[in-house]
Amino acid sequence: MTDIIQLLPDHVANQIAAGEVVQRPASVVKELLENAIDADATSIKLIVKDAGKTLIQVIDDGKGMTTTDARLSFERHATSKIKSAEDLFQLNTKGFRGEALASIAAIAHVSLKTKTEDAELGTEIIIEGSSVKSQDAIVTPKGTSVAVKNLFYNIPARRNFLKSDAVELRHVIDEFHRVALVHQDIGFLMYHNGNELFNLPKSNYRQRIVNVLGGKTNEKLVPVEEETEVLKLQGFVGKPQFAKKTKAEQFFFVNNRFIKSAYLNHAVNSAFEGLMKDGYHPTYFLKLTVDPKSIDINIHPTKTEIKFDDEHTLYAIMRSAIKHSLGQFNVAPVLDFDRDANLDTPYNYQDKRAAVPSIEVDRSFNPFKDEVSTSKKESFSYHKKDNTAQWESLYVGLDRQEPSGLKNIEFESDSSTDSMFKDEDSKHGQTTFQLQKKYIVSTIKSGLLVINQNRAHQRILYEGLLKSITVDESVSQQLLFPLKLTYSTTDFEIVKQLKGDLECIGFVFDELSDNDITISGVPVNLTEGEVSIVLEELIADVQQEVPDDNFSITDLMAKSLAKSMAIKSGQPLTVEEQEHILNSLFACKEPSVTPTNKVTFITMSSEELDKKFV
């Protein structure tokens, strides 16, 4: 029998490794940005074309590499970060496996330019599919520039699995956020197709968060800070009233590395218990500093999962620290209902000394000075009281007089006024009833009909919105004053993507620039106060669904807007409104289910009712 086990060629092994490390363009962005940070860069520029499918380039002003280091960096398991297995538990850098550049070079065209500070010339290496095409000495500034072109060019199947440019760009921006947020001492620039998306100068942590997510984020943040022997915690959490339906603004950083941890996330949620509505998630930007020996980050290829030595202690510290911050800044409610908030002493007054009050005395004050004038006033007022009988006599006998000209006045009876809603049904009485402000009850030939008013209105709005979007029939109402809304860069890109479809259903946009949106018209069945809520829920649904083509975006938008704009359970309805929902529902193409396939109504036959009384 012949031997069947053989060693894989290097280029095949690199492609297999690339399947774990490089899943999409965002994975390349993460690896290259982390390499730039490890090189002690103070300024990093990210250039992306076609959401990273055509080009991903990272330029930094870090230490650079020598010619030998530049060549070795593309070999598998070549790294400067560790020398022994024990070093895995003393990691203070981002990359350490030595697989990233080798994996990227196996599935793309890579161009590397690098130079150290004391070298006269730099090095340029061009690699295509793990094959070195050229290596030359060039003139280049200090630092490193890595350009990755035509990702997955030699693996068409993997390239076909990539999503649309809008979706892939969203993932690239997410990875950029995860790196840029925690490294506020580094300046970041990001360009996509020649347009500047982010320009983040060096700043403090709070300012970096505001620069990344928008100017209105500052008022939403509550600082959190705690330091113990096992953990140093600092960062910010969002106020409960600004909670979102998505987990997009939730960031944990352990030793300046972004991680995902369901256990720690539960600690944050428990601190917000009772402060948020169901279905909403808190916003947080928390940096944890722990001993590198107490964590293991080498358990997942993307290094976003970490094992902690003592998770229970971290859970307790984080939960209590967040609760303390929410209470300290009067975000969490108190149980003392008779407490006067004006008597609270701010925390920043604890070390402030009390000011000594100054006393001023009016030495010219004489309490007996106005005795004479007071007696005159009393006698004068007594004299006026005697004259009250003269003017009171003017009203004597008025109650017995009857005004002239009022005898022939006739008053119209209320019963003679007819209702403007007079119809045939009113002759026989009311045909629909509202039950518990949630259901509409009506009679049918076979028995009883019960309609869920919220679900029925969702179906009615959904079909109407689909028709407006596809047929381009928009009816809008102009706002007296234009409404200006501010979003983060990611949310702003989603609104730009949906702008055409939103205009088809009645939205009128005056301006979209610098993450600001100015709206001058809204659909007729939407109030001005509901606009921001509807758009935020739409953005959240788009982020969760991650659609690929225009049809799915259109359908998703109609579903999301119908859900947001539908009348809610608990809202009282007039008889005319009940009948309108009833008639409109059965005029729909699919009246029996909502856009998300939930039942809108049930029927109960007279036989079923009879059985209830047996």
Query: What's residue 379's pLDDT?
Result: 46
Strands 257-259 and 508-513: unpaired
Please check whether residue 545 is in contact with residue 554, taking contact to mean a CB–CB distance below 8 angstroms.
Answer: no
Q: Specify the residue for token string 């608990």.
A: 570
At residue 533, what is the residue type?
Answer: I
Query: What's residue 183's pLDDT?
Result: 93
Residues near 512 by beta carbon (within 8 Å), at least 6 away in sequence: 492, 495, 496, 499, 518
For residue 495, the surrounding DSSP H or E stretch is: helix 489-504
Distance between CA 188 and CA 288 in Å, rounded? 22
CA distances from 499 to 258, 506, 539 (A): 33, 11, 12
Q: Is pLDDT at 304 greater than 60 in this prediction?
A: yes
Q: Is pLDDT at 201 greater than 90 in this prediction?
A: yes
Confidence of residue 416 (pLDDT cuts 50, 70, 90): very low
Q: Is pLDDT at 319 greater than 80 in this prediction?
A: yes
DSSP per-residue letters across 11-64: HHHHHHHHHHH-SSHHHHHHHHHHHHHHTT-SEEEEEEEGGGTSEEEEEE-S--
Please, which residues bridge with residue 258 across strands?
A: 253
Please, which residues bridge with residue 281 across strands?
A: 244
Q: Is pLDDT at 221 greater than 50 in this prediction?
A: yes
pLDDT one-digit tens code per residue, 82-93: 555 555 555 556
Distance between CA 500 and CA 81 in Å, rounded? 50
Q: Is pLDDT at 284 greater than 90 in this prediction?
A: yes
Q: Specify the residue for token string 């998703």.
A: 556
For residue 158, the surrounding DSSP H or E stretch is: helix 156-160
Q: Which of 216, 276, 246, 168 is nearest to 537 (CA)?
A: 246
Q: Using DSSP, state whether 415 is helix, strand or coil.
A: helix
Among 324-338, 397-411, 476-490, the least confident range: 397-411
Strands 187-192 and 43-49: parallel
Distance between CA 99 and CA 21 in Å, rounded? 8
Among 149-163, 294-308, 568-582, the least confident range: 294-308
Among 11-15, 129-133, 475-479, 485-489, the least confident range: 11-15
Estimate to the nearest angstrom the gap between the alpha carbon of 366 and the chain centroid: 68
- Sign for the CA dihedral angle at 554, 560, 565, 570 comes to positive
- Quick one: DSSP state of residue 593? B
Among 271-285, 380-394, 420-434, the least confident range: 380-394
Confidence of residue 80 (pLDDT cuts 50, 70, 90): low
DSSP per-residue letters across 228-276: -SS-EEEEEEE-GGG-BSSSTTEEEEETTEEE--HHHHHHHHHHTTTTS
Q: Is pLDDT at 12 greater than 50 in this prediction?
A: yes
Most confident of 132-136, 344-348, 469-473: 132-136
Q: Regarding predicted confidence, which is higher, 327 or 19?
A: 327
Distance between CA 507 and CA 498 in Å, rounded? 11
Mean pLDDT of 384-395: 55
Please check whether residue 198 is in contact with residue 189, taking contact to mean a CB–CB distance below 8 angstroms.
Answer: yes
Distance between CA 381 and CA 365 in Å, rounded? 27
Tokens of 249: 């603004």
Counting residues of the chain whose pLDDT is more than 70, the rounded percentage is 78
Confidence of residue 354 (pLDDT cuts 50, 70, 90): confident
Please check whether residue 264 is in contact with residue 315, taking contact to mean a CB–CB distance below 8 angstroms.
Answer: yes
Query: What's residue 204's pLDDT?
Result: 92
Most confident of 212-216, 338-342, 392-396, 592-596: 592-596
Query: What's residue 393's pLDDT?
Result: 61
Query: What's residue 247's pLDDT?
Result: 82
For residue 124, the surrounding DSSP H or E stretch is: strand 122-128
Mean pLDDT of 190-208: 91
Q: Using DSSP, state whether 73 is helix, strand or coil.
A: coil
Q: Is pLDDT at 600 greater than 90 in this prediction?
A: yes
Please check whether residue 20 is in contact with residue 33, taking contact to mean a CB–CB distance below 8 angstroms.
Answer: no
CA distances from 99 to 76, 104, 144, 192, 301 (A): 5, 9, 18, 27, 10
Whole-model pTM over 0.85? no
Query: What's residue 126's pLDDT?
Result: 93
Residues in the chain: 614
**CA 63, 200, 29: angle at the middle one, nearest 5?**
60
Please, which residues bridge with residue 259 across strands?
A: 252
For residue 382, the surrounding DSSP H or E stretch is: helix 371-385
pLDDT one-digit tens code per residue, 27-72: 999 989 988 998 889 999 999 999 999 999 999 998 999 998 888 8
Report the largest interatomic distance among the alpha carbons of the chain, rounded to a whole angstrom.
137
Tokens of 559: 């579903």
At residue 17, what is the residue type?
Answer: A
Q: Regarding predicted confidence, which is higher, 518 or 297?
A: 518
Q: Using DSSP, state whether 559 is helix, strand or coil.
A: helix
Q: Regarding predicted confidence, which is higher, 576 or 214?
A: 576
Q: Is pLDDT at 566 greater than 80 in this prediction?
A: yes
Residues near 604 by beta carbon (within 8 Å), at least 6 away in sequence: 447, 448, 450
Q: Regarding predicted confidence, which is higher, 349 or 248?
A: 248
Q: Is pLDDT at 227 greater than 80 in this prediction?
A: yes
Q: Is pLDDT at 363 greater than 90 in this prediction?
A: no
Distance between CA 365 and CA 350 in Å, rounded? 40
Estimate to the nearest angstrom the gap between the alpha carbon of 469 and the chain centroid: 25
Confidence of residue 458 (pLDDT cuts 50, 70, 90): very high
For residue 113, the surrounding DSSP H or E stretch is: strand 109-115
Among 93-102, 135-144, 378-387, the least confident range: 378-387
Query: What's residue 402's pLDDT?
Result: 52
Confidence of residue 73 (pLDDT cuts 50, 70, 90): confident
Please check whether residue 596 is in contact with residue 587, taking contact to mean a CB–CB distance below 8 angstroms.
Answer: no
Please check whether residue 62 is in contact with residue 45, taking contact to mean a CB–CB distance below 8 angstroms.
Answer: no
Residues near 3 by beta carbon (within 8 Å), at least 6 away in sequence: none
Confidence of residue 148 (pLDDT cuts 50, 70, 90): very high
Domains of the chain plus CATH, in order, are: 10-202 (3.30.565.10), 213-328 (3.30.230.10), 434-602 (3.30.1370.100)
Query: What's residue 394's pLDDT?
Result: 58
Q: Is pLDDT at 415 greater than 60 in this prediction?
A: no
**Phi, psi (deg, nearest 5) at residue 146:** -115, 120
Percent helix / strand / coil, the chain, rounded to 5: 40, 20, 40
Helices (H) and strands (E) in the chain, counts: 18, 22
Q: Which of 190, 177, 178 is nearest to 44 (CA)?
A: 190
pLDDT one-digit tens code per residue, 170-184: 889 999 999 999 999
Q: Is pLDDT at 541 greater than 90 in this prediction?
A: no
Most confident of 337-341, 531-535, 593-597: 593-597
Mean pLDDT of 573-585: 91
**Phi, psi (deg, nearest 5) at residue 516:** -110, 140
pLDDT one-digit tens code per residue, 91-132: 556 655 557 788 888 889 999 999 999 889 999 999 988 888
Most confident of 12-16, 534-538, 588-592: 588-592
